[in-house]
Amino acid sequence: MDDTVVIALFRHGLTEGNKRHAYLGWTDSPLCPDAKRKLGKPDARYSMLFSSNLGRCLETSRLLFPQLHPQLMSELREMHFGEWEGKVFEELKEDPHYQKWLSEPFTAKVPGGESFSDFALRVEMGWNEITRKIKEKKIATAAVMTHGGVIRYLLSKFSPEKKDYWDWKIDHGAGYELVWEEDKWRRGERCTLLQAAPIMEKQNGSGSNTG
């Protein structure tokens, strides 16, 4: 489409940690062998690829976009879960800090990790860098390989339909395309169209809401 900007947000493939429903922020976990086999191929061409610098995103990027060299960005990492990294609900449910965070996820800070405002500021910085590079290269299509929390935040900010952060469902190995009229994109407005990223059919796995 002429005079449009398309940015696709992809979530990495299902990992062993995701299968356990563990909190995976900056702690890495390998992709499940079955998940790797089930990853589809994007049925679209993107001019640039930006990726979280964590291994699960790099592994997924190599599988989905072997023709593109990803630009690595630490700003695209998942929220840092500090002392809770790699742990599951059963291990944390008696922790008063965890109970407080569950009741106040947007204000309570994870011990040794990030608050939601820390996380949001970091993601905003990454998004600003992505938009700067897209403008600099004068391209119209780009893909971003990242994590569930990052995608939820960006959709809550830029989707044409206003939905709460937790209302977005992000499957592993899948994604969304955000389409802007170029002038609206340059002004930082909500996108004009949101659609599932076109992926050639394969069965995608889904897992926990973290990572």
> Which residue ranges make up each domain of the chain?
4-86+118-196
| Amino acid code (one letter) for 179 | V
Residue 196 CB contacts under 8 Å (≥ 6 apart), including other chains? 174, 175, 176, 177
Amino acid 210: pLDDT: 61
Amino acid 199: pLDDT: 84
Ligand-binding site membership of 152 (annotated): no
Ligand-binding site membership of 18 (annotated): yes
β partners of residue 52: 73
Ligand-binding site membership of 13 (annotated): yes
Ligand-binding site membership of 56 (annotated): yes
Amino acid 178: pLDDT: 97
pLDDT in tens, 68-82: 999 999 999 999 999
Q: How far apart are CA 94 and CA 105, in angstroms?
A: 17
β partners of residue 57: none
> Catalytic residue at 12?
yes
The residue annotated as part of the active site, out of 75, 78, 114, 177, is 78
Amino acid 41: pLDDT: 83
Q: How far apart are CA 97 and CA 115, in angstroms?
A: 12
Low-confidence ranges of the chain (pLDDT < 50): 1, 203-209
| Amino acid code (one letter) for 142 | A
- 10: nearest Cα among 167, 199, 203, 208: 199
- For 85-144, the DSSP string reads TT--HHHHTT-HHHHHHHH-TTTSPPTTS--HHHHHHHHHHHHHHHHHHHHHHT-SEEEE
The residue annotated as part of the active site, out of 12, 80, 147, 172, is 12
> Catalytic residue at 104?
no
Amino acid 71: pLDDT: 97
Amino acid 1: pLDDT: 47
Pick the CATH number of 4-86+118-196 from 3.90.1150.10, 3.20.20.70, 3.40.50.720, 3.40.50.1240: 3.40.50.1240
Amino acid 43: pLDDT: 79
Neighbours of 103 (CB within 10 A): 9
Amino acid 40: pLDDT: 84
For helices 148-158 and 116-137, the axis angle rounded to 10 degrees is 70
